[in-house]
Amino acid sequence: MNTISGNSTASAALLGSGLVVDDAITWTKGEVLGRGAYGTVYCGLTSRGQLIAVKQVSLDSFDPDAAKKEYSHLQGEVELLKTLRHANIVGFLGTSLFRHVVSIFMEYIPGGSIASILHRFGPLPERVLALYTHQILEGVAYLHLNRVIHRDLKGNNVMLMPTGVIKLIDFGCARRLSFLNHTASSSSGGGDLLKSVHGTPYWMAPEVINETGYGRKSDIWSVGCTVFEMATGKPPLAHMDKMAALFYIGARRGAMPSLPNGFSDHAKDFVQISLTCDQRLRPSADQLLKHPFIPPCA
């Protein structure tokens, strides 16, 4: 293990955890928690004895232009994370740049991802499914209220605390919309739609595949796919290869699969309306929070 120090660009107290990081974060690198297209996440132990998650990205030292572009991308992710404070969104602690390596310090979530929970325990019973879905929606509703769309919601990017609290992670694809407008599809040329393809095929909405714009409602489709994933162990159309699934969803000609028998009518309806092909008819996160599948707040 090696120790790296860096100056943090922000310091924050995490919601409900009591974890506070000073302007200088000194930490020791531990095991790899995950790898993705945008870097590697490690477990870290701070000089105060606190466990944190550290996302590290190595900038290309041989290509200044590429390094500048990557740094700008990371800067965008950090600027978003700095503004987000919610119980169902991973807490941001700060950043550092040391020898061409950018480190983003975040709250450590020891329960792992929902995808790993499904691998360990199998599909979730409906009661747990509803509890987790409620919290995912609370996080998504908060993002959308703050004009942020996640653009890569799936089981791998939904984390679980040992206490049963859900946290949304990985804002590498996220973007802030330019206009506060809850009907993202109201105009094809509006600033509320982003015309770029991001996400993972099995969780991608038709309008994303067809490049007709990505708005808040595209996150709702991904929520529906993630609920299906939690209920069955796999996302919709997982029996198809990626390209076949892309064509099927993009063509909008075939119905999306429904939850299997054994789930309540409320659960089936929740997934069905979340996977409405026309995003103008797809419900918002706030509307879904009032759906009878979602348990009332304790």
24: three-class secondary structure by DSSP: strand
Rounded-to-integer distance, Cα 116 and Cα 155, Å: 8
Return the number of other C-beta atoms located less than 10 Å from residue 153's C-beta. 29
Catalytic residue, chosen from 60, 152, 219, 278, is 152
Do 220 and 294 form a contact (C-beta atoms < 8 A)? Answer: no
Rounded-to-integer distance, Cα 191 and Cα 78, Å: 22
Rounded-to-integer distance, Cα 98 and Cα 235, Å: 39
152 is catalytic: yes
User: Residue 290 annotated as binding?
Assistant: no
| Radius of gyration of the chain, Cα coordinates, nearest whole angstrom | 19
Tell me the backbone φ, ψ of residue 70, rounded to 5 degrees. -65, -40
Do 153 and 239 form a contact (C-beta atoms < 8 A)? Answer: no
39, 54, 78, 231, 282 from 106: Cα distances, Å: 14, 6, 11, 29, 33
Q: Which residues are catalytic?
A: 152
Extract the annotated binding site for ATP: 55
Extract the annotated binding site: 55
